[in-house]
């Protein structure tokens, strides 16, 4: 079976930490979408590691790790990640597999990303500028380069053709970044990438599953950034919901088992776009400080607010979430009272549905108020030790979402995870 783990909010829910923990029970961890826009943070033996392209199973010795066909790969970022991890995991390259169908991000994709954002002015998406949108555009436009192409004797020709297409598009923009240095780094990284295990991953996965191996598909970004169901156009360019696993790995829907959805005890968003429960006051600042809410990929401050059950229920519905994991519960230790949005007021009417036109309507969240737990919970080891008001908070969320919370995460460490 293939279990799925994904973010239910706007990303950064703590997927990296949770995958690193759960990987102990799986044989293979597979990324199915996104690219180096992701930043998944892990703490292993006190070392902080941020993974962008490599699956978060690499620190469990027995785990194989697959970068699936649905991912867009920047060889430079990948090569840097490998260099950072190799001293800690010297068998990394034996356990890392890449689909030959995964798409490549080339330097001019990043230039296009920057030019497109600059041209949008005040309406910019707030992209991580890693070239994600342009790379997926080339994929669906049927112009993209795939990882398998780097093994072809015609690679340079194919690369130049795509680059020229980008240069032609860039003529319409006023300012264009000089990418000549990036190009050198890109070619070096491609050279290194040729030596990696580039495989026919859909067949490989199929064989592994036939042999009874357990696979966990690791999502990037979050459900509200999904290209179809997120707060379009303020989204990323891939399907971040469970459906993305099937086309991002070549897995049949009937193979999907558990769908594990991750949510913070509150909510954050980085980049532009609607965020109904955002706190633009000192409470929001306090959440950012307590939760160290700064982007793992770009370092940008994350916008903070209360947990939004309307958006979460929508995300659970879209992916058929079978169990929840709540992270960063410890961050809310000193907040009293705490709030949960249970409905939206739009034009004087209450709704529990996430609106299609959320960018164009004024949404006033309707809140349920709870007493804060006002007690540090970071050292709690069992569910029984957790304050009863915190458990009430969890029960309310479970009831609203009609889904069980399987774990509560109460710190950055691998061991700070409490089974419910
Ligand atoms: P991801 O993109 O979903 O993997 O999440 P990020 O790594 O971008 O951001 C999550 C941040 O929260 C990281 O810095 C984690 O170390 C941290 N984190 C994860 N779980 C917890 C938790 O339960 N408590 C606290 N305080 N921090 C956490
Ligand atoms: P992880 O996997 C949070 C956001 C960007 C921007 C929008 C589009 O760490 O949770 P893109 O670079 O894809 O063109 O950006 O999506 N975004 C993320 N926000 N976590 C992420 O990944 C994100 N990946 C992209 O900030 O608003
Ligand atoms: Mg992140």
Residue 309's pLDDT is what? 98
371 and 273: one domain?
yes
> Which structural domain, as residue segments, surrounds residue 117?
103-193
Residue 178's pLDDT is what? 87
Q: In whole angstroms, what is the distance from residue 259 CA to residue 317 CA? A: 11
Q: Whose CA is nearest to atom 13 of ligand 1?
A: 41
252 and 269: one domain?
no
Q: How many domains does the chain contain in total?
A: 3
225 and 300: one domain?
no
Average pLDDT over residues 124-134: 97
Residue 55's pLDDT is what? 98
218 and 311: one domain?
no
Cβ < 6 A, ligand 2 pocket: 7, 10-12, 37-40, 125-128, 130, 132-133, 220-222, 225, 236, 270-271, 296
CB-CB contact of 8 with 315 (8 Å): yes
Residue with tokens 């696993």: 245
Of 237, 260, 283, the residue at which a domain comes to its end is 260
Residue 171 is classified by DSSP as T
Q: What CATH number has the domain bearing residue 152?
A: 1.10.300.10
| Torsion, Cα of 42, 19, 405, 33 (10° steps) | 110
Q: How confident is the model at residue 271 (pLDDT cuts 50, 70, 90)?
A: very high
- Supply 232's token pair: 């379009």
Q: What CATH number has the domain bearing residue 234?
A: 3.40.440.10
355 and 294: one domain?
yes
Cβ < 6 A, ligand 1 pocket: 7, 11-17, 39-41, 296, 327-328, 330-331, 409-412
124 and 110: one domain?
yes
Q: What pLDDT, in 10s, does the model give residues 363-389? A: 999 999 999 999 999 999 999 999 999
Ligand 2 centre distance from Cα of residue 128 (Å): 6
Continuous H helices in 250-387:
282-290, 309-319
- Which ligand lies nearest the alpha carbon of 41? 1
CA atoms within 13 A on the CB side of 184: 3
212 and 341: one domain?
no
Residue 355 is classified by DSSP as P
Ligand 1 centre distance from Cα of residue 296 (Å): 9
Q: What CATH number has the domain bearing residue 389?
A: 3.90.170.10
Q: Report which of 212, 155, 173 is spatially closest to residue 26, judged by C-alpha positions.
A: 212
Q: In whole angstroms, what is the distance from residue 269 CA to residue 305 CA? A: 9
Judged against a pLDDT cut of 80, whether residue 176 lies above it is answered with: no
139 and 66: one domain?
no
Atom of ligand 1 nearest to the CA of 416: 23
Of 217, 245, 260, the residue at which a domain comes to its end is 260
Judged against a pLDDT cut of 80, whether residue 175 lies above it is answered with: no
Residue with tokens 């737990």: 373
165 and 245: one domain?
no
Burial class (CB in 10 A: 0-12, 13-18, 19+), 379: exposed
65 and 126: one domain?
no
Of 260, 282, 306, the residue at which a domain comes to its end is 260
Q: Report which of 71, 1, 69 is spatially closest to residue 40, judged by C-alpha positions.
A: 71
Average pLDDT, the chain: 97
Do strands 47-51 and 40-44 pair parallel, antiparallel, or not at all (unpaired)? antiparallel
Please count the residues of the chain: 420
- Which ligand lies nearest the alpha carbon of 116? 2
Judged against a pLDDT cut of 80, whether residue 32 lies above it is answered with: yes
- Supply 269's token pair: 């968003």
Q: Is 298 helix (H, G, I), strand (E, B) or coil?
A: coil
81 and 203: one domain?
yes
CB-CB contact of 134 with 112 (8 Å): yes
Q: In whole angstroms, what is the distance from residue 203 CA to residue 207 CA? A: 6
Q: In whole angstroms, what is the distance from residue 316 CA to residue 260 CA? A: 9
211 and 164: one domain?
no
Q: In whole angstroms, what is the distance from residue 301 CA to residue 227 CA? A: 23
Q: What pLDDT, in 10s, does the model give residues 289-348? A: 999 999 988 899 999 999 999 999 999 999 999 999 999 999 999 999 999 999 999 999
Residue 177's pLDDT is what? 85
Q: In whole angstroms, what is the distance from residue 304 CA to residue 335 CA? A: 13
């Amino acid at each position: 079976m293939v279990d799925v783990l994904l973010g239910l909010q706007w990303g950064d829910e703590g997927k990296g930490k949770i995958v690193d923990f759960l990987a102990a029970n799986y044989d293979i961890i597979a990324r199915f979408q996104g690219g180096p826009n992701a930043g998944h943070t892990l703490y292993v033996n006190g070392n902080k590691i941020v993974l962008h392209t490599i699956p978060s199973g690499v620190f469990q010795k027995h785990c194989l790790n697959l970068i699936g066909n649905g991912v867009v790969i920047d060889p430079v970022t990948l090569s840097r990640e490998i260099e950072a991890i190799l001293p800690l995991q010297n068998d990394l390259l034996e356990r890392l597999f890449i689909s030959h169908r995964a798409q490549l991000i080339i330097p001019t994709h990043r230039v296009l990303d920057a030019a497109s954002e600059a041209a949008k002015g005040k309406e910019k998406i707030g992209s991580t500028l890693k070239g994600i949108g342009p790379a997926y555009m080339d994929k669906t436009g049927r112009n993209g380069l795939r990882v398998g192409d780097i093994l072809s004797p015609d690679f340079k020709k194919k690369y130049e053709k795509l680059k020229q297409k980008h240069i032609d598009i860039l003529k319409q923009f006023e300012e264009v970044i000089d990418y000549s240095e990036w190009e050198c780094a890109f070619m070096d990284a491609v050279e290194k990438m040729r030596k990696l295990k580039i495989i026919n991953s859909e067949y490989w996965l199929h064989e592994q599953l036939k042999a009874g191996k357990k696979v966990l598909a690791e999502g990037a970004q979050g459900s509200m950034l999904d290209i179809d169901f997120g707060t379009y156009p303020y989204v990323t360019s891939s399907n971040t919901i469970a459906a993305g696993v099937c086309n991002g790995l070549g897995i049949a829907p009937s193979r999907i088992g558990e769908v594990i959805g991750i949510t913070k005890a509150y909510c954050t968003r980085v980049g532009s776009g609607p965020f109904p429960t955002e706190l633009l006051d000192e409470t929001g600042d306090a959440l950012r400080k307590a939760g160290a809410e700064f982007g793992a990929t770009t370092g940008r401050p994350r916008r903070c607010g209360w947990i939004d059950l309307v958006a979460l229920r929508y995300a659970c519905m879209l992916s058929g979430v079978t169990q929840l994991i709540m992270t960063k519960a410890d961050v809310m230790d000193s907040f009293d009272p705490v709030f949960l949005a249970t409905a939206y007021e739009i034009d004087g009417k209450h709704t529990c549905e996430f609106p299609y036109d959320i960018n164009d309507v004024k949404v006033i969240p309707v809140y349920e108020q709870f007493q804060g737990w006002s007690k540090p919970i970071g050292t709690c080891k069992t569910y029984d030790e957790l304050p009863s008001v915190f458990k009430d908070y969890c029960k309310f969320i479970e009831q609203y979402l009609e889904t069980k919370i399987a774990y509560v995460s109460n710190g950055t460490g691998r061991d700070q995870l409490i089974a419910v």
